[in-house]
Amino acid sequence: MTRGANRTGLKAFLQREAAVGTLVVPTLAALLVGVAHLTQTYALYLALGPAYLEQIDLLIIFGLYRLLEGILLWGFFAAGIYLVSIPLGGTPLFGHVIRVVGWGLFPFVPAAIIWAAGRYYALRAVTYPDWEPFGMEQEWAKLTEYTGQTAGDPILVGTTLLGCGVLLASAHVWVNGVTTACDLDRRRASVVVAIPLGLYICWQLLGSLGV
C-alpha cells in the first residue's frame, strides 16, 4: 500500500512539474552533475602529483568538459527518451520530457563522485610514464598510456558498477515521469528509459575495462 502510494505521489508530482514546472531545479541538477563529474578531473590531478604541470593544458580541457557534462547528459537523455518513445507508440512533449529528465539527474551526482574515487585509487596503483612529451599530441599519448594502465582494475570496475547501480534511482524517476510525458504505460516507459540509460551504463563499464 505504502509503496503504491509513494509511486502514485511521485508520478503525480512529475506530471505537475512536467506540465507547469520551471526549468530552475532541472538546470540546477544538471549543473551539480557537472560539478560532480569535475571531481574525476580532480582525482586525476591528485594522482598525477607534481607531474600535473606536464599535463596542465589537458587537465584544463578535461575540467571544462566535465563541467559541461551535466548539460550534455541532460540533452542526451532527453533526446534519447523522446526519440525512442515515438516508435513505441508514445506522443512525447519535448518540454515535458526535458523537465522530467532534469528531475532525474540528481543520482548522477553521487555516481560521479563514486567513479572519481575509484579512478583515484586505481591511478595510485600505476606508474606515470617517465618519457618526455613534446607538444600536446604527445602529452595526450602519455596521459593515455598512464590512465590505460588502470583498465580492468578491480577497484575501478567495482566503483563503476556501484555508481551505475546508483543510477537505478534515476531510472525510477524517469519511468514514473515518462508515463505521462510520453503518454505510455509503465511497461513501455521502462523500455524507453532502459535503452538510453543502458547505453550509457555500457559505455561507463566498457571504459573501466579499457575497451
- For the chain, residues with pLDDT lower than 50 are 1-2, 4-5
pLDDT at position 11 is: 85
Rounded CA-CA distance 204/199 in Å is 9
**Domain, as residue range, for 194:** 2-209
Q: All 3 cell numbers of residue 120?
A: 583515484
pLDDT at position 5 is: 41
pLDDT at position 7 is: 59
pTM of the model: 0.90
Question: What total of structural domains would you count in the chain?
Answer: 1
